[in-house]
Each structure stands twice: as C-alpha cells, then as structure tokens.
Amino acid sequence: MKNDKQSYRGILLEHEPMRKHTSWRVGGNADRYYQPMDLDDLQLFMNSISVDEPVYWIGLGSNLLVRDGGIRGTVICTSGVLNQIKPVSENTIYVQAGVACPKVARQAAKMGLVGAEFLSGIPGTMGGALAMNAGAFGGETWNLVQSVQTMDRCGLIHERKPDEFRVGYRTVIGPHGEWFVASNLGLTPGDVAVSQQQIKNLLARRAKSQPTNQPSAGSVFRNPEGDYAARLIEVSGMKGTCVGGACVSDKHANFIINMGTATANDIETLIQQIAEKVEMDYGVRLHREVCIVGEAA
C-alpha cells in the first residue's frame, strides 16, 4: 500500500476474517479489506494501492470459496456501497456493481420495465453477474447489457461496449486488470403487475428447489452441454455425501451446504470428489462455477 490514508474515506480493515463476508461462511483472513464510501472514494483508494498489490473484488461473497489460509492482498467489497440504480431512458437502467441482483429485478419491475425478472434468482450482486454472465430460469446477464463501466488499477473509469468482451456460458473475458463498476441494461416497457407476479413465482420456485435457508454458494458446477450437473451428481450417488461439515444438499445436488462446522478445505475436497466420481461413472468432467481464491491453511 502507498501512504495515502488521508485520501480515501472508506473503511480499511486488516486481517479481516473472510468467513464474515462469504455466503458459505468459511475462509481465512484477508490481509486488507476495504469498503469504499462511493465510486469516487473507490477511485481514490485504487490509486493509492501499489501496482504489485494483489486485489480481489467481491460483492455478497456468493459463488466464492476463500481458502482457510486467507488472502494475501487487498479485498474490495462493493456490496451495498456501489448501490445506485436509476432510469437512463425509456428502456435503459443504470445499475452499479454493488446492487444485489434481486433488487435489480424488483426495481426494474417498479419502473414498468420487463426482462430482468430472472435476476431475482441470482444470489449475488450485478458486479459478480457481469463478471461471470450469471443466469437463472433461462435468462443470462449479458443478454441485457448495452454498455458497462470498468475501473482499472489506477482508478480510471472506462466506458466499454459488449463487443469488447468475449461472453459465453458463465464466462466473460475482457480487458485485463479492469473490474466492473456499473452497467446500462436494456429492458422493455411492460406491465408492472405481471412482472412483479413473475418475480414472485420465480422466487417461490427457487425456494422449493434450492436450499435457500442454508449456507451455500449457489450452483457449484456449470451445467455440461445437453445435461444438468445436479442430475449427474445425483445419479452418481453423491447426493447427501459429506466431508467434515460440508455436505451435498439433499434438496439440490449441485449445492454444497455448510452444516455449521465446515472448513474451506472440507468444501474444496468435496468439490473434487464430486467431479472425480461423475467423471469416473459417466465420462463427463464437470467444471466449477464457483471461484476459489486464497491460500490453503
């Protein structure tokens, strides 16, 4: 870190336990953890970081496994901070990276705009949804994107179009060393009541099929082409399998639950065991959707 502590206004914590900031509730300490006040403050903070400092951005900490040895470097949390959402035109809304995806769905519906309802099923922020082209109920984030704002290591903001990114199923590759801070989403004017009812129905469907009341990170594996990871895991006999305090959910086989005592190593070991069993039984190599970062204990 450079010595510019007076230049930024957010909260900087040292040796911060990442279990407090991940939906799995596991993970070692981050050397530094920063929660900015707003976008301007984040620019100042990014400009204060040494060029060789490892930087990790998180939102709600879903879809993320932090190893038990923690993170060497600085974690930046945008959740609840980069939280602006506003109409730009008749069919476009501006959404900052820290806004939770279900809130985007609800706010769009209130504005009389349809097409974002599927976001209600994504338990993360727009920053994470943009970074991995998150999807649910047949919808995908980048189908809505008209443009994005990114921030680089120096705190400079770049306006970028979708054609500057390679976007696929749960994967997005763009300019190196830039992170998403906002997006403009293109939607369609529609009926508020119909959209709100659709969101309600999707949330009920999610609650019925997924263990939403237990610590998890959402879907662990991507669906292989023409099949479902959950089906393969279930028919391979892994449903209900546990390693330490981590168990494959009985409700949805593509979810791993922290039963209360799990370590990150328990979860990572179980992920590996699932992938090996499915490949051995069916010749299909499952690829992780969950991002794993940090050092082993």
Q: Domains along the chain?
A: 5-77 (3.30.43.10), 85-209 (3.30.465.10), 229-293 (3.90.78.10)
In the set 219, 236, 268, 288, the catalytic residue is 219
SS3 119: helix
Copy the structure tokens of residue 44.
Answer: 């100042």
SS3 47: helix
Say if CB 236 and CB 224 are below 8 A apart: no
Question: pLDDT at position 1, please?
Answer: 52
Residues in the chain: 297
85-89 sheet: strands from edge to edge: 85-89, 92-96, 178-186, 145-152, 157-160
In the set 16, 117, 268, 289, the catalytic residue is 289
> Which pLDDT band holds residue 269 (cuts at 50, 70, 90)?
very high
Pairing of strands 113-114, 188-189: antiparallel
In the set 19, 67, 170, 288, the catalytic residue is 170
Q: pLDDT tens for residues 31-47?
A: 999 999 999 999 999 99
Name the nearest CA neighbour of 24 among 211, 202, 209: 211
Q: Does the annotation mark 9 as catalytic?
A: no
Q: Measuring CA to CA, how many Å separate 63 from each of 66, 112, 229?
A: 10, 30, 16
Question: pLDDT at position 5, please?
Answer: 52
Q: Does the annotation mark 268 as catalytic?
A: no
- Is the pLDDT reported for residue 8 higher than 90? no
What's the rounded Cα separation, in Å, for the pair 283 and 15?
Answer: 42
Q: Does the annotation mark 289 as catalytic?
A: yes
Q: pLDDT tens for residues 91-108?
A: 999 999 999 999 999 999
Name the nearest CA neighbour of 243 among 223, 259, 227, 221: 259
